[in-house]
Amino acid sequence: MHGLTNQDLTLLFLAIGLLLLAARVCGELAQRLGQPSVLGELIAGILLGPTVLGAVMPDLPQTIFPAEGPVAVALDGVTTLAIVLFLLVAGMEVDLSVIWRQGRTALTVSLAGVVLPFGIGFLAGLTQPVALGMSPESDRLTFAVFLATAFSISALPVIARTLLDLNLYRSDLGMVVVGAAVLNDLFGWIVFAIVLGMMGEADDAAFGVAGTIVLTLAFALGVLTVGRWAVHRALPWIQAHTSWPGGVIGFALTLALLGAAFTEWIGVHGVFGAFLVGVAVGDSSHLRERTRAIISQFISFIFAPLFFASIGVTLDFARHFDLSLCVAVFLLACLGKVIGCTLGARWSGMSPPEAWAIGFGMNARGAMEIILGLLALRNGLINERMFVALVVMAIGTSMISGPLMRRVLRLEKPLRLGDVLHPKGFVKPLEAAERMAAIRQLVEAISDGRTLVRERIDPIVLAREALMSTGVGNGLAVPHGRIDGLTSPVVAVGISEAGLDFNAPDGLPAHLVFLILTPPDDDGAQVKILADIARTFSDPARAAAATRTRSMTEFRALLKAATGSEGQ
């Protein structure tokens, strides 16, 4: 236990702290821009590593994130642990029953979406290994199988999030995509485990190629049948007899670590074992929502960012960036996946727009591809150029997936209250004693004399209010109007502790007054905002909490928490 000195520990804490800070900040920024957070997390590492910080101060990244010595080993241990736990969570998101429910369609989409990219990857790998960045130590066949896998894998977590964003998760189309992606992921990881086994020859693997492959398949089969059954039986017992939620969390993590140790021992990476354990554990109906949330939130928000940021700090992305290789990999990967899945969906009788949406949805590679690429890089299967190209492909396919699905399905983004709040639109207390004066006070708060002119807005909203009062019950009132010259909706909120009479159907006074201003051609914005307000504050406890907020920041925090708790 005397491995790390005082100085080592200083560096270790600093390194992990900085990685986490940068990863969270950049991840949030990426999400803000509508991009996957893994993009931001990777960029965080690139900023802190030799690519950017190293270009300005050549020695600094090497000092904070050394490549050798005890700090490097400890950091490697922590990030490897992080990725194993991340795969546990990724596995937990896999719901095998979706496959049975969607049956043939999912199977067809998945098969077509694997066969075509697998074929393309395999042929490309066999014929052009050097151009496609095969590492000199590797052999052509192993490389071809790897490339085939890399092209045919998909990324369930990214796909699930995209579908949630588009409100498609519970639709038939969404279920087909998820079912196909689940099959795809299982297939991809098993084949990749075999690839790792094929490379095992070079190492001091205990079993040889054939042994590793047989053990891998046996392990996968065992975990998904007997293991799944045993977990299903054990979970209620553990919930009954151990402290909650620690017993179940400890059980899941222990299984994941032992699964990782086993797969590592048979010559395949630990992520494979953790992923399969995740599938077995997550599939059980006995795993409570809350326990699941604690595990996945802690791991997705802490361990995953740490891991993805750590990729960037040891590799110079600029030096290994090869534009033509990136373009080639990106095009080959999209070609096989999109066309394969779209054809599969058409064969199953989906309409052309739906089939294309499925193709674009399945095309997202996200975090899984990056993990696959990193393992291939570390095992000497591909070179740095190819790794960077795979990362670019993974991020690129994830970024275009949502927008393209939205385009072919002609979907609109849902409007949320939080997106349209005016920065100055928080008025507390609403001093007015009656509703017309309260509306004037709200208009006053956001008037800027340019697009929002008090004298122009007042008459419109007050006339609307006079026509029919906008108290909607539950202590809410929603005066509104369409304002010429406005280009996007604007909302102000006023809080009255005493309550104002807005003639609500339930006779209760309004404590929360939302002034909703929309452009003349508002395209349904008014209705969407009203719906979001009604949905958000249908919970009286939340409405009461909202009246206690003291600033726009606190009000936003409340909205955030409300959205967060529904997303689970």
Of 302-331, binders to its own copies (CB under 8 A) are 302, 305, 310, 314
Instruction: Please pick, from the candidates 131, 244, 485, 505, the single residue that binds its own copies as defined by CB under 8 A.
Output: 244
Spatial contact of 517 and 447, defined as CB atoms under 8 Å apart? no
Within 81-120, the residues that bind its own copies by CB under 8 A are 81, 84
d(CA 428, CA 511) in angstroms, rounded, equals: 11
**Smallest separation (angstroms) from its own copies to the CB of 53:** 17
d(CA 303, CA 24) in angstroms, rounded, equals: 11
List, as one string, the DSSP characters of 429-453: S---SSHHHHHHHHHHHH--SSSS-
Query: Which 8-state DSSP code applies to residue 509?
Result: P
Q: Establish if 507 lies at the interface with its own copies (CB under 8 A).
A: no
Nearer to its own copies (CB atom), residue 236 or residue 403: 236
**Taken in order 180, 261, 370, 124, is the CA torsion positive or negative?**
negative
Burial (CB < 10 A; 0-12, 13-18, 19+), residue 125, is buried
The count of residues interacting with its own copies (CB under 8 A) is 91
Spatial contact of 154 and 188, defined as CB atoms under 8 Å apart? yes
Q: Fill in the amino acid letter for 393.
A: M
Nearer to its own copies (CB atom), residue 3 or residue 136: 3
**Taken in order 354, 180, 301, 538, is the CA torsion positive or negative?**
positive
Within 191-210, the residues that bind its own copies by CB under 8 A are 203-205
Instruction: Please pick, from the candidates 68, 455, 506, 521, the single residue that binds its own copies as defined by CB under 8 A.
Output: 68
Scanning 19-27, 89-97, 430-438, 498-506 for contacts with its own copies by CB under 8 A, the matching segment is 19-27
Distance of CA 358 to the CA centre of its chain: 18
Scanning 4-12, 152-160, 382-390, 517-525 for contacts with its own copies by CB under 8 A, the matching segment is 4-12
Q: Establish if 250 lies at the interface with its own copies (CB under 8 A).
A: yes
- Whether cis (ω within 30° of 0) applies to the bond prior to 429 is yes
Nearer to its own copies (CB atom), residue 312 or residue 479: 312
Within 257-296, the residues that bind its own copies by CB under 8 A are 257-258, 260-261, 264-265, 267, 269-270, 286, 288, 290, 293-295
Q: Establish if 541 lies at the interface with its own copies (CB under 8 A).
A: no
**Smallest separation (angstroms) from its own copies to the CB of 23:** 8
Scanning 15-23, 336-344, 449-457, 507-515 for contacts with its own copies by CB under 8 A, the matching segment is 15-23
Q: Would residue 480 show up in a list of annotated catalytic residues for this protein?
A: yes
d(CA 182, CA 505) in angstroms, rounded, equals: 48
Q: Establish if 381 lies at the interface with its own copies (CB under 8 A).
A: no
Q: Establish if 76 lies at the interface with its own copies (CB under 8 A).
A: yes
Instruction: Please pick, from the candidates 26, 53, 75, 111, the single residue that binds its own copies as defined by CB under 8 A.
Output: 75
Scanning 9-17, 96-104, 148-156, 320-328 for contacts with its own copies by CB under 8 A, the matching segment is 9-17
Q: Establish if 563 lies at the interface with its own copies (CB under 8 A).
A: yes
**Taken in order 311, 315, 316, 322, is the CA torsion positive or negative?**
negative
Q: Give me the catalytic one of 269, 320, 422, 480.
A: 480
Q: Fill in the amino acid letter for 159.
A: I
**Smallest separation (angstroms) from its own copies to the CB of 401:** 19
Q: Establish if 414 lies at the interface with its own copies (CB under 8 A).
A: no
d(CA 269, CA 379) in angstroms, rounded, equals: 10
- Which tokens in the block code for residue 45? 């590492």
Nearer to its own copies (CB atom), residue 164 or residue 557: 557
Helix (H, G, I), strand (E, B) or coil at 500: strand
Residues marked active site are found at: 480
